[in-house]
Structure 1
Amino acid sequence: MKHEFQPDLPPPANTVGFVGWLRKNLFNGLINSVITIVLAYLAISAIWGIVNWALINADWVGTTRDACSREGACWVFISVRWEQFMYGFYPEAELWRPRLFYATLAILIALLAYEKTPKRLWIGLFAIVVYPFLMAGLLYGDVAGLEVVETHRWGGLLVTLIIALVGIVASLPIGIVLALGRRSDMPIIRSLCTVYIEVWRGVPLITVLFMASVMLPLFLSEGSETNKLIRALIGVIMFSSAYMAEVIRGGLQAIPKGQYEAADALGLSYWKKVGLIILPQALKITIPSIVNTFIGLFKDTSLVLIIGMFDVLGIGQSANTDPDWLGFAIESYVFVALVFWVFCFGMSRYSIWLENKLHTGHKR
């Protein structure tokens, strides 16, 4: 008798898909089901309370605190202080200059992030070599007939972005050089790089900013003076480059010894071996750690408040002391937190995309 195999029946509907996932992970027993229901109730209640405060019962339109008559958030406070949050105390007649900076920065980031942008390498070189000096002249003035705007009048998101961008762009190459120097076979170079890294990693950033603001002018010649923003940038770069060096060194040590031996067998010079074989692999491995350092640096820009510079957090704290707007500190801190979250989340997502794009089978 010939046997005929029947086709397999589909699994029960309650064991696959979303329903199956719920039964397996959240409702796979009496205790787990009760815990799931209780936690879901608490989470929904908390989320509804936040949405109700931030959106439904919030006040959005107005120019004075009298417009905030409801029980929710008073976003009128943020709208009234919007220009200070974005530009600090930049002259109102010259606000087109930081706005142009924001617009061109967004365009450059979009062009560099888009993989199929033509002449992408040249755009990147322009963004690193030429663009900072153009924007410095635009924002500070004293060129092409532009009015001088002293850096002590800069503030808000403008200062946050400048410190973060300069620190990120400058600390990466300096960190690479320090990491290579620490792994060098030359004792003097290795010792100097090791001392630099260990000293700056052992000092809090607050101390570094105080040193840059107070002690750095003591080492300058008499009559010469640097403004507070330049001193803060120098301190942030020196501090973050030490941490970046250790991140890069970890990537260099993760490269198998065979890669070094293969490069030596090909007769490559030291710089060709490092630039063409070792360093690209090390940077790819350390993408998560590099971006994590960048995110930490971006958040640490709020520490410049202690040396009298008003970044976006400093502007929020100063706005909270305005007698006409007392009692709206929560809205201020929520807005500042949202600003930091948007930029940090954007960097983290881009790093994940870049890591997946460069994935060559070594990820586990």
Structure 2
Amino acid sequence: MSDTNSHSVAFVRETSIPQSTPPSSAAGPVKWMRDNLFATIPNGILTILAFYVVYLVLSSTLPWIFNGVWNAANLAECREILQGTSGACFAVLVERWPQLLFGFKYPATEYWRPVTAFIFMLVAIAPVLFFDLPRKLLIVTILFPFAAYWLIWGGTIWVPIFALIGFAAGYVVYSRFVAQSFAVGFFGGIASAVVVWFLAGFIVPVLAPEQPYLEAVPSRDLGGYMLNMMLGITCVSLSIPLGIALALGRQSSMPLIKWICVVFIELIRGVPLITLLFVASVMLSYFFPPEQTVDLFIRVVIMITIFSAAYIAEVVRGGLAALPKGQYEAADSLGLDYSQAMRLIILPQALKISIPGIVNIAVGLFKDTTLVSVISMFDIIGMIRGPILASTDWNGVYWELLGFACLVFFVVCYSISQYSQWLERRLATDHR
């Protein structure tokens, strides 16, 4: 009896069994390849075909890149060095890199100015993109447009200083009267800024020295990838707030404002961008006296901005429509007026929904800045198609130049895409 009872007592292990490694087919690279590349027979066949296509592309491209010539005076010398073998002539990038980046008219002794403005830009956009940084850095963001204008275009420093004073005066008037009336504050701020700029037209010639602080560079002398960056950053920065205003105007309860926004959005979206650029280049000059005109760079910025703002307005309108009606009712129950409800409750949620669409338009807009080459503005594509390929030294070099243009655009566009994905993950508060 005792033996039977002793054998019926359950045994409790005091130590755990050491974990054994999973089989190679259940973890590691083998499992990943089985799940992602060879999950089914059709997937396996497509994977093999894809590897074969990649092999064909790399087997013909990598030798061409690795055999590239970096030191040569012209294309004929490159071919003599290669002696019939396959290889790229990267020497054109070494010799013509100032033209690719800055254009062929920007003074060579002043290249430090756009480089300094670019570094200043990286510091200025940091507190806007990464909101964990101290808010005091926004002072750099506010000063950047005025400092960048003076660095790139040159001239007297009093022009950006009075422009900054005008914007500051407009903001003070707006913040003082917006509590009483939004319209009074808004239009009063604009009127104050215009008055300061009008006075600056009389004061600047008196204060400006005989020689400007920096050598003045006209807009026609801007070119290269610098021109693409300037157009992209300026137009994206201006089109986002304008697109938000158009989206809110399209949903306005006031018929006049609503239909003005609807007609504007539908008209601009129905016209190709290249047509608007031709309008900026040719037709706008007919609206000014013969001796007066508006700078071509400003005209192009206006047209590209309104073009992208019309598309951003529809993206933001989709974000506003995606919000449940309860959010609007919650704002009303808290006693918030229209501007407070939009600023504190509605727009933050709508813009979070609209991030992918806005980024998609921003990337497309940055790439569309190359269309200015058709109106004789020598951006990086205009430089390649014009002065560089027109020279007898490098006539016939295509892949190297166009590949370099693809690379620099890819770096910026991919960075924007990665930032948008990071921002979406950071703002993904729905499932926390």
Normalising to structure 2: TM-score of the pair? 0.77
Match among 30, 34, 39 for residue 19 of structure 1: 30
* 2:53 equivalent among 30, 39, 42: 42
Q: Which residue of 2 aligns with 1:326?
A: 395
**Structure 1 pair 26–117 and aligned structure 2 pair: CA distance change class (3 A):** closer
2:270 equivalent among 178, 195, 202: 202
Amino acid at match of 1:39: A
Structure 2 letter corresponding to 1:118: P
Pair 1:141 & 2:141 matched:
no
- Residues 1:219 and 2:287 aligned together: yes
Determine the structure 1 residue equivalent to 2:404. Answer: 335
CA distance in 1, matches of 2:29, 2:9: 40
The equivalent residue for 1:312 is 380
For each residue in 1:23-74, what CA deviation from the matched residue of structure 2 results, as whole angstroms up to 9, or x when unmatched? 34434566765554443233123223322222x2111234433145232111
Secondary structure in structure 2 of the residue aligned to 1:14: coil
Secondary structure of the 1:360 match is coil
| 1:59 and 2:59 correspond | no
* Alpha-carbon distance in structure 2 between the residues aligned to 1:100 and 1:176: 32
Correspondence list, 1:161-180, <5 A:
161-180=229-248
Gaps of 5+ in 1: none
Range 314-323 or range 81-90, more displaced: 314-323
SS at the partner of 1:224?
coil
What residue number does 2:161 align with?
none
Shift of 1:346: 0.6
Between the aligned partners of 1:60 and 1:337, the Cα distance in structure 2 is 19
Are 1:77 and 2:92 counterparts? Answer: yes
Secondary structure of the equivalent of 2:25? helix
Q: How does 1:177-196 map to 2 (within 5 A)?
A: 177-196=245-264
**1:221 and 1:256 mapped to 2: Cα distance?**
52
Q: Distance in 1 between matches of 2:431 and 2:275?
A: 40
Q: Indicate if the aligned counterparts of 1:140 and 1:148 stay in contact, CA closer than 8 A.
A: yes
User: Structure 2 CA distance, aligned partners of 1:28 and 1:245?
Assistant: 43
Higher Rg of the two aligned structures: 2
Pair 1:112–1:30, CA change in 2 (3 A): closer
In the alignment, what sits opposite 1:357?
A: 426
Matched, 1:99 2:115: yes
> In the TM superposition, what whole-angstrom CA distance separates every residue of 1:125-157 from its partner, at most 9, and x where no partner exists?
x42x43222222222222152222111111011
Distance (Å, rounded) in 2 between the aligned partners of 1:158 and 1:116? 29
Does residue 119 (structure 1) correspond to residue 135 (structure 2)? The answer is: yes
Between the two proteins, the alignment pairs up a number of residues equal to 359
**Structure 2 runs not aligned, ≥5 long:** 1-7, 158-211
Seq. identity, %? 42
Tell me the distance in 2 between the aligned counterparts of 1:238 and 1:38: 45
| CA distance in 2: counterparts of 1:121 and 1:99, whole angstroms | 21
CA distance in 1, matches of 2:426, 2:365: 25
Which secondary structure state, in structure 2, belongs to the residue aligned with residue 216 of structure 1? helix
Equivalents in 1 of 2:344, 2:398: separation in Å?
52
Segment drifting more, 38-47 vs 159-168:
38-47
In 1, Cα distance between equivalents of 2:302 and 2:145: 15
Q: CA deviation at 1:268?
A: 0.5
More deviation in 295-304 or 210-219?
210-219
Secondary structure in 1 matching 2:286: helix
Q: Separation in 1 of the partners of 2:215 and 2:298?
A: 19
Cα distance 1:81–1:149, how it changes in 2: closer, same or farther (>3 A)? same
Which AA in structure 1 matches 2:396?
Answer: G
Residue 91 of structure 1: CA displacement?
1.2
Q: Rate the CA distance shift 1:4–1:31 in 2: closer, same or farther, 3 A.
A: farther
2:216 and 2:265 mapped to 1: Cα distance?
37
- Asked if the contact 1:316–1:336 (Cα under 8 Å) also holds between the matched residues in 2, the reply is no
- Give the secondary structure class of the aligned counterpart of 1:282: helix
Q: Distance in 2 between matches of 1:147 and 1:122?
A: 29
1:229 has 2:244 as partner = no
- Is the Cα contact below 8 Å between 1:305 and 1:314 reproduced in 2? yes
